[in-house]
């Protein structure tokens, strides 16, 4: 049964990736716009070459990227390229491939967005559980309130405020960039500390903007679990409050939150793109923002497809994780 489950989930993942690839392919082609023509028309207007050579250059690139072929043949070539992890070539940074751009940006995105997502998830759920637990001290339940207030403030505004106050005025943190100017990137301990120092303000901006959501959702789940029979039975057995809170209350309330966490990793890239651009960090969101500004369509499609594939993979992994969190869930 377990192998059948794994096979079904992998088949589902393949179907999601195929659907995302198909949508990514056909939606841009519903318009009559030619990304290659638009890109080189911009270069022609800036004086990169004469406008008379535009048609020759566009025809040459259309042939190179296979845009002169019939639509169905383009689609089969595209799906074959996706299967080989070939996402195309950047128009703005030719001949660098889209996959190379993603790979060089991915570590920075993981360092900022993934870590800040985990921290906000842990902090928010813990504060939400404490706020709903009736035996918590009143001062502990009131700690969660300020974080809920930050929900109404977009992370980019928080980033601007923190950048102005803590970096520009008080000079407690760097104004931006991934690391200090004049430092050569390497794997030394001093370089890692310098990178972490530059990541603090962007991470705080994203954490403050998302903790409140986890607090509210966890508090709602905690309130519904308080009246469950297994919680009342644990209390009548005379178990310690900490054991009831950890094993009966928090563990069961966490199940829907885990699913929400996998989905949040996909949505946080929207806020992360603006925050990374504001702090001049070379992450995936910043590369996406630059590609949108420069009309580098192949990079846009490649990053969006990569994010979709990542979220789908995380959802499958979360489903495999569920039986470990809740023994009542069977894998058959």
> Are 143 and 250 found together in one domain?
yes
The reply to whether 239 falls in a domain is: yes
Where the chain has pLDDT below 70, the residues are 1-2, 31-35, 42-44, 46-54, 64-66, 141, 262, 265-271, 325-332
How many domains is the chain partitioned into structurally?
2
Please spell the DSSP secondary structure of 158-180, one letter per residue: HHHHHIIIIIIIS--S-SSSSS-
> Are 273 and 300 found together in one domain?
yes
Cα(275)–Cα(202) distance, rounded to whole angstroms?
Answer: 7
> Are 65 and 172 found together in one domain?
no
> Are 16 and 138 found together in one domain?
no
Q: Which domain holds residue 261?
A: 100-325
* DSSP for residue 153: S
73 touches 62 (CB < 8 A): no
Q: Give pLDDT, residue 258.
A: 77
Cα-flanking dihedrals φ and ψ of residue 331, to 5°? -85, 0
The reply to whether 92 falls in a domain is: no
pTM: 0.74
The reply to whether 21 falls in a domain is: yes
| CATH code, domain with 267 | 1.10.3720.10
Cα(320)–Cα(331) distance, rounded to whole angstroms?
Answer: 8
The reply to whether 120 falls in a domain is: yes
The reply to whether 331 falls in a domain is: no
Nearest CA to 91 among 33, 28, 57, 40?
40
Cα(103)–Cα(115) distance, rounded to whole angstroms?
Answer: 18
> Are 68 and 110 found together in one domain?
no
> Are 69 and 164 found together in one domain?
no
H/E stretch holding 313 reads helix 297-325
Among candidate residues 51, 83, 115, the one where a domain is terminated: 83
Cα(50)–Cα(306) distance, rounded to whole angstroms?
Answer: 36
> Are 118 and 53 found together in one domain?
no
The reply to whether 318 falls in a domain is: yes
Nearest CA to 131 among 70, 219, 29, 25?
219
Q: Give pLDDT, residue 318.
A: 75
The reply to whether 50 falls in a domain is: yes
Q: Give pLDDT, residue 225.
A: 78
Please spell the DSSP secondary structure of 36-55, one letter per residue: HHHHHHHHHHTTSS-GGGHH
Q: Give pLDDT, residue 64.
A: 67
> Are 242 and 320 found together in one domain?
yes
> Are 45 and 129 found together in one domain?
no
Measured between its terminal Cα atoms, the distance across the chain in Å is: 5
């Amino acid at each position: 049964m377990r192998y059948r489950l794994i096979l079904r989930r992998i088949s589902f993942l393949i179907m999601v990736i195929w659907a995302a690839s198909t949508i990514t392919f056909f939606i841009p082609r519903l318009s009559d716009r030619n990304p290659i023509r638009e890109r080189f028309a911009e270069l022609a207007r800036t004086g990169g070459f004469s406008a008379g050579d535009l048609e020759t250059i566009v025809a040459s690139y259309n042939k190179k990227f296979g845009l002169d072929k019939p639509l169905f043949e383009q689609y089969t070539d595209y799906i074959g390229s996706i299967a080989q992890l070939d996402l195309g070539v950047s128009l703005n940074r030719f001949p660098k491939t889209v996959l190379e751009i993603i790979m060089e940006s991915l570590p920075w995105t993981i360092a900022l967005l993934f870590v800040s997502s985990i921290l906000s998830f842990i902090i928010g759920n813990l504060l939400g559980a404490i706020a709903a637990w009736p035996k918590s001290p009143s001062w502990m339940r009131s700690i969660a309130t300020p974080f809920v207030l930050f929900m109404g403030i977009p992370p980019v505004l928080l980033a601007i405020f923190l950048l102005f106050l803590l970096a520009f005025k008080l000079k407690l943190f760097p104004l931006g960039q991934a690391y200090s100017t004049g430092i050569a990137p390497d794997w030394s301990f001093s370089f890692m500390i310098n990178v972490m120092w530059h990541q603090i303000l962007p991470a705080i901006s994203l954490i403050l903007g998302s903790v409140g959501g986890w607090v509210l959702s966890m508090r709602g789940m905690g309130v519904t679990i308080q009246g469950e029979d297994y919680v009342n039975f644990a209390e009548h057995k005379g178990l310690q409050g900490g054991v009831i809170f950890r094993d009966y209350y928090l563990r069961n309330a966490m199940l829907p939150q885990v699913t929400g966490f996998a989905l949040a990793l996909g949505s946080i890239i929207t806020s992360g793109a603006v925050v990374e651009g504001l702090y001049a960090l070379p992450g995936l969101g910043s590369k996406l923002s630059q590609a949108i500004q420069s009309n580098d369509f192949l990079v846009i499609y490649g990053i969006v497809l990569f994010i979709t594939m990542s979220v789908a993979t995380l959802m499958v992994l979360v489903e495999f994780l569920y039986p470990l969190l809740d023994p009542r869930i069977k894998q058959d």
